[in-house]
Amino acid sequence: MELNALDQEFMHSGHVGCPGCGAAIAMRFFLKALGDKTIMVLPACCWSVIAGPYPQSTLKIPLIHSAFETGGAVASGVRAALDMKGDRETTVVTWAGDGGTFDIGFQALSGAVERNEDFIYVCYDNEAYMNTGIQRSSSTPYGAWTTTTPGTDWKKLRKKNIVEALVAHRIPYAATANIAFPEDLVRKAQKAKSIKGSRFIHVYASCPTGWRIPSEMSIKIARMAVQTNIFPLYEVEDGLRYTINYKPKEYLVREYFRLQGRFRHLTDKDLDQIQEMVNEDWELLLRKAGEHA
């Protein structure tokens, strides 16, 4: 029986994540969109813990935990087995953090999407290795404090643009999504589900613990990330056709940064520089989408 009505819950009430955890919110919405004919591959990340310890599970779908760097490969194997069993109905989803996607799992992900494996890869992005205690990843943004970029050694390198890296593989579908825009997120998950081949969704998932923000600010900050163009909502079909889903009113990045403990050390001058970087990235995206003035 296909259960895809959005009032269905595929997460039990009660999980082991922190209050206000964006990753938990993201999962809840995704599963609503994907339904119960879903098998999930879960490489090491905060979600390895959020899902709960044996003999309990937060999720109502079959779930295979896997080694940190294997999200792309384990899903390829699950898909191959389902194909051999004649099951074309079940959707295979890898659910990985930014570390498991941008860094250690990038090779297996690139390999899987080059083969155009028929699965959805979701990267929930909390911009650091949170499971192990807030260490920097290549997704950690310019300016951020983490436990491995402490004090004056705050990260002075740009965040890797993972969507563009996936787009360069010319996969059928790549998109960004955000927990503060659930309708957009659900639509993209359902769209991804309807497409064959490799699909990639990059979800902004705030992390109160790692970002040094109050838990009730989780959604607000996520929304501001879109409104400031720090995390634009867009989708790319076949590596070519860009659609920007949300045109913000060009809020300044300053407020977004000032609300988060991880950016506390930044000066006005640093923020001006970051504003320029964000403007530059947005211009580039507009050009790719053919919307540049």
Partner 1 sequence: MKRVLEGSHAVAEAVRLAKVQVISAYPITPQTHIVEILSDYCSTGKLKAKFLRVESEHSALAALIGAQSSGVRTFTATSSQGLALMHELLHWSSGARLPIVMAEVNRALGPGWNIWMDQTDSLAQRDTGWIQFYCEDSQEVLDTTLQAYRLAEEVNLPVMVVLDAFFLSHTYEPVDIPDEKDVDRFLPPFAPKFQLDTANPCSFGQLVTPAFYMEMRHDIDRAMDLALVRFGEIEEEYARIFKRRYGAVEAIQCSDADIILLTSGTVTSTCRLVLKALRDRGEKVGILKVKLFRPTPAEQIRGALKSAKKVAVVDRNCSFGAGGIFAQEVRAALCNLPGHPLVYGYIAGIGGRDVTPELLEEIYWKTKNSEVPEKESVWMGLQEVAHGTQRS
Ligand X SMILES: Cc1ncc(C[n+]2csc(CCOP(=O)(O)OP(=O)(O)O)c2C)c(N)n1
Residues numbered 114-133 forming contacts with Mg ion, rule: CB under 5 A: 126, 130
User: Using CA atoms, how far apart are residues 85 and 44, in angstroms rounded to an integer?
Assistant: 28
DSSP helix/strand/coil, 47: helix
**Interface with Mg ion includes 97 (CB under 5 A)?**
yes
- The stretch near partner 1 (CB under 8 A) out of 19-27, 111-119, 141-149, 269-277 is 111-119
Nearest-5° angle of CA 123, CA 14, CA 58? 50
Q: Figure out which of the listed residues 7, 13, 14, 84 binds partner 1, where binding follows CB under 8 A.
A: 84
23, 25, 31, 59: residue in contact with partner 1 (rule CB under 8 A): 59
Binding string to ligand SF4 for residues 121 to 140, with x set by CB under 6 A, is what? -----x---x----------
From the CB of residue 292, how many other CB atoms can be counted at a distance below 10 Å? 10
Among Mg ion, partner 1, ligand X, none, partner that 60 touches (CB below 5 to 8 angstroms by kind): partner 1
User: 73-102 mask for ligand SF4 (x: CB under 6 A)?
Assistant: ------------------------------
DSSP 8-class letter at 82:
H
Q: Which helix (H) or strand (E) holds 28?
A: helix 22-34
Residue with tokens 């807030």: 134
Residue 105 CB partners (closer than 8 Å, separation 6+)? 43, 68, 69, 70, 71, 72, 96, 99
113 binds, among ligand X, partner 1, ligand SF4, none (CB under 5 to 8 A by kind): none
CB-nearest residue to ligand X? 97
Tell whether omega for the bond before 55 is within 30 degrees of 0, i.e. cis: yes
Determine which residue in the list 17, 22, 100, 143 makes contact with ligand X, applying CB under 6 A: 100
What spatial distance separates the first Cα and last Cα of the chain, rounded to whole Å? Answer: 49
Task: Please report how close the Cβ of residue 264 comes to partner 1 at its closest, in angstroms.
Answer: 33
106-114 and 71-84 are packed helices; what angle lies between their axes, rounded to 10 degrees? 40
The tokens describing 89, both together, are: 């109905």
Chosen residue from 116, 135, 148, 209 binding ligand SF4 by CB under 6 A: 209
Tokens linked to 112: 């899987």
Q: Interface with ligand SF4 includes 213 (CB under 6 A)?
A: no
Which of 10, 29, 30, 68 touches ligand X (CB under 6 A)? 68
What's the DSSP call for residue 286? H
Residues that bind ligand SF4 (CB under 6 A): 17-18, 21, 23, 46, 50, 126, 130, 207-210
Residues that bind ligand X (CB under 6 A): 23, 44-46, 68, 96-100, 126, 128-132, 137
